[in-house]
A and B are shown apart, each in its own frame.
Chain A
Amino acid sequence: AQSVTQLDSHVSVSEGTPVLLRCNYSSSYSPSLFWYVQHPNKGLQLLLKYTSAATLVKGINGFEAEFKKSETSFHLTKPSAHMSDAAEYFCVVSYYNTDKLIFGTGTRLQVFP
């Protein structure tokens, strides 16, 4: 069955330091994977998507993620955190590449000045 596991419920970083949000997936074949960000009382915004093309995916706002099949991981990174990055982040997989999305439980990112 398809699933995603976000390994950290909370991550805290200082402004200007790197961000790493971890996500492992379970899939019987090559999945479509996404990262979304949600600021308080806002809708979800797509940061980036992996759809079996390049394994290193660049997204908006300086974020990127690397698809590692051998590790079944799709971790989200950013070289330097900004205060505006403080939000909830969701790792998402498309269920057998269909309309149904399976959401991780989310990681809350705090950024300290």
Chain B
Amino acid sequence: SQTIHQWPATLVQPVGSPLSLECTVEGTSNPNLYWYRQAAGRGLQLLFYSVGIGQISSEVPQNLSASRPQDRQFILSSKKLLLSDSGFYLCAWRGSSYEQYFGPGTRLTVT
């Protein structure tokens, strides 16, 4: 069966510091992968999606970037964090009927 991992689970970073969040999927090959952000008390915002290695589409202009160096690995990065980057970051992969399966999430607090 498929499993999706995210790490770290929680992260506290100062403003201006870099960021790297990692997501890996097991049990499926060449999945469509997604990064979402969920701000406190708000819905999910799609940040990036990828249909294959090296293929990244950005939904929202911001100081975040994404990369897909391997088939089942998706990385979210920033060179300099802003306070507004705080939130709950979720990675997901797409199933056979457009449904998406989410990872456990990373809680990022920028101080």
Contact = CB atoms under 8 A, between A and B. Distances in A.
Interface string A88-107: 00100010011111011110
Main secondary structure of the interface of B (DSSP, over half): strand
Interface string B68-102: 00000000000000000000101010100111111
Contacts of A61: none
B32 A51 contact: no
Interface in A19-61: 32, 34, 36, 41-46, 49, 51
Contacts of A44: 44, 90, 92, 102
A43 B38 CA distance: 10
The bracket for how many chain B residues form the interface is 20 to 34
Given A100-B46, A103-B44, A43 B98 contact: no
Contact of B43 (A32, A43, A45, A106): A106
Given A41-B105, A101-B98, 13 more contacts: A32-B98, A34-B99, A42-B105, A43-B103, A44-B102, A46-B99, A51-B97, A94-B98, A99-B49, A100-B46, A101-B46, A101-B100, A106-B43
Interface of B: 6, 32, 34, 43-44, 46, 49, 88, 90, 92, 94, 97-105, 107
